[in-house]
Amino acid sequence: MENKAGTDVVNEDWDTLVVLDACRYDMFESTSQLDGELSSRISKGSATTEWLQANFDKRDLRDTVYVTANPQLEENRDRWDIQLHETINVWLDEGWDDETGTVRAETMTEAALEAAERFPHKRLVVHYMQPHYPFVPAETDFDKEHLQQIDGEGGGPSEENVWNQKFNGTLDVSREKLWEVYTANLEYVLEHVEELLADVSGRTVVTADHGNYVGERASPIPIREWGHPRGLYDDPVVRVPWLVSETGDRHLVVGSSADDTTRDVQKDVVAERLRDLGYRS
């Protein structure tokens, strides 16, 4: 399933595409201090899997390197026809932060800059996990109450993320408080995106794979929604930022006949990471 009205990001003009996971346009517009020309676009999906499939599946992207904090491509690689020059799964091994149950934004910026140096003649997609739950900078009692021990070491979010808890009526926290911590997660990632923009040349676009309901009524059934259910395409979940920043020279992008050299990933690791990120198992 995909939103047919959405933007085909692959066919847009960019050298580096920065993807903020679950970033609403209105929140970005009121929060971002990044330099560039800001407009909004409509996403092809209300969830990462929809966005990835609509933009990556059955496409020749051998001129593109995908640097990602989100395991969803590996979760679906067997079902999709993916042709990338290389996939860099930052969420594996040392890129994963057990304490927060996610990939930290500073880790992603470091990985993206390393990729830009390694692949100067490729388009680069840099997929940050924030502002998607877990809320890295949050100091909230309700978030701490839902931490669990992972392998006996450190904390990590429970399988039921705050959006699911709020939808199910098991979390007694106001919309205003959730908006506050969600915005703080965006502010956190934007600090590190700004560092990336300062060090990469060419035409960089900052966008999102999808947005997120924060208590708005959905259509066609007017119930209050939280999170980003698949198949619902209201503005809160599909209207995303499109900020264009240009510095230095454009890239000379060349294709490749080589297959994606990404190493095989164990499915149990993918499943564990997705649970920590609050995706339903």
What tokens does 126 get? Answer: 């840099």
What one-character DSSP code corresponds to residue 92?
S
What one-character DSSP code corresponds to residue 47?
S
Strands 16-21 and 123-131 come out as parallel
The SS3 call for residue 91 is coil
What tokens does 164 get? Answer: 């699911």
Chain centre to alpha carbon of residue 76: 16
C-alpha to C-alpha distance for 126 and 18, rounded to whole angstroms = 5
Rounded average pLDDT over 18-28? 98
Contact (Cβ atoms closer than 8 angstroms) between residue 102 and residue 69: yes
pLDDT at 157: 44
Query: With pLDDT > 90 as the criterion, what percentage of the chain qualifies?
Result: 66
Q: Is the peptide bond before 222 cis (omega within 30 degrees of 0)?
A: no
If residue 73 lies in a helix (H) or strand (E), which one and from where to where?
helix 72-76
CA-to-CA separations, 261 to 61, 65, 84, 270, in angstroms, rounded: 13, 11, 9, 18
Tell me which of 6-10, 107-111, 118-122, 254-258 is least confident: 254-258
Contact (Cβ atoms closer than 8 angstroms) between residue 212 and residue 24: yes
pLDDT at 51: 97
Q: In what order do the strands lie in the sheet with 123-131?
A: 37-42, 239-247, 202-208, 16-21, 123-131, 59-68, 82-89
Contact (Cβ atoms closer than 8 angstroms) between residue 69 and residue 48: no
Strands 202-208 and 16-21 come out as parallel
Rounded average pLDDT over 158-167? 76
Mean per-residue pLDDT over the chain, rounded = 88
What tokens does 176 get? Answer: 């205003």
Write out pLDDT tens, residues 107-118.
999 999 999 999
Contact (Cβ atoms closer than 8 angstroms) between residue 242 and residue 205: yes
The terminus-to-terminus CA distance of the chain in angstroms comes to 20
pLDDT at 158: 45
Rounded average pLDDT over 247-257? 75
pLDDT at 140: 66
pLDDT at 52: 97
Contact (Cβ atoms closer than 8 angstroms) between residue 31 and residue 90: no
Q: What is the pTM of this model?
A: 0.89
Write out pLDDT tens, residues 195-251.
999 999 999 999 999 999 999 998 888 889 998 988 899 999 999 999 999 987 787
C-alpha to C-alpha distance for 210 and 9, rounded to whole angstroms = 12
What tokens does 82 get? Answer: 């993916």
pLDDT at 153: 42
When pLDDT is cut at 50, 70 and 90, the band that residue 254 belongs to is confident
C-alpha to C-alpha distance for 193 and 210, rounded to whole angstroms = 18
Q: What is the dihedral of CA 88, 89, 92, 94, to 10 degrees?
A: 50
pLDDT at 6: 92
What tokens does 49 get? Answer: 């899997």
When pLDDT is cut at 50, 70 and 90, the band that residue 125 belongs to is very high
pLDDT at 152: 37
Closest listed residue to residue 36, CA positions, set 14, 51, 21? 14
